[in-house]
Amino acid sequence: MNYKVEYNNLYSALIQYAQMRQFSMAECAKLECTNAPNSDVGIRQSNTENTQENTTESIGAVAPRKHKFSERNFLLENGVSDQTASEYINLRKTKKKPITEKVIRLVLSQAKKANISNERAFEIIVAKGWDSFNATWNWQQINDELNQLNQSEQPKQSTPAPQNLKTVKGAW
């Protein structure tokens, strides 16, 4: 492609247009371009330049990508088991609720206020189907039920057999 640019005319038109109106850059880009010289004349106008442009612009330094937030890792780092983290993530996704660091931090702070573990707060959220957790909500009953469930799931420990018994001859 060939372009004919009359720099002096373009510059003066741009200055004149900018002084007349102060609008958006999109409107400033709508400057009227000068027409090509008449083919009758045969002599090119002064201050013109024919250019053929093939530009490839390389974008400079790209901003480093932000570290993608991993809700699972964040939950695990804050004392939530893998199973409870999975159940919580599935619950939020089913409800189409985003899981952000801020959402999880709010639950962690409320768990601290309620004086329960982070694990227990997320277990309560999953068991109740809540979006979040608040220390002032009615969560104590489900907490008691979860305690009973955990106790019944743990195998009862029997007294271990004594080790290193000496056999006494003729004792029996």
Q: Any idea where the domains of the chain sit in the sequence?
A: 1-35, 71-152
Judged by average pLDDT, the poorest of 15-19, 43-47, 136-140 is 43-47
pLDDT for residue 142: 85
Comparing C-alpha atoms, which of 23, 31, 26 is closest to residue 6?
31
**What is the per-residue pLDDT for 34?**
46
- 10 φ, ψ (degrees, to nearest 5): -65, -45
Q: 31 with 13: CB under 8 angstroms?
A: yes
Say if residue 1 is exposed, middle or buried (CB neighbours under 10 Å; 0-12, 13-18, 19+): exposed
DSSP 49: E
| 36 compared with 134, residue with greater pLDDT | 134
- First and final CA of the chain: distance in angstroms? 112
pTM for the structure as a whole = 0.51
pLDDT (0 to 100) of residue 103? 93
CB neighbours (10 Å) of residue 122? 25
The answer on pLDDT for 87 being more than 80 is yes
Among 12-16, 65-69, 76-80, 160-164, the minimum mean pLDDT is found in: 160-164
pLDDT band at 88 (very low <50, low <70, confident <90, very high): very high
Calculate what percentage of the chain has a pLDDT beyond 70.
62
Query: What confidence tens digit (pLDDT) does each residue in 101-151 have?
Result: 999 999 999 999 999 999 999 999 999 899 899 989 989 888 888 888 888
Output the pLDDT for position 159.
54
Residue 157 has a pLDDT of 58
pLDDT at position 93 over 80: yes
> What does the chain come to in residues?
172
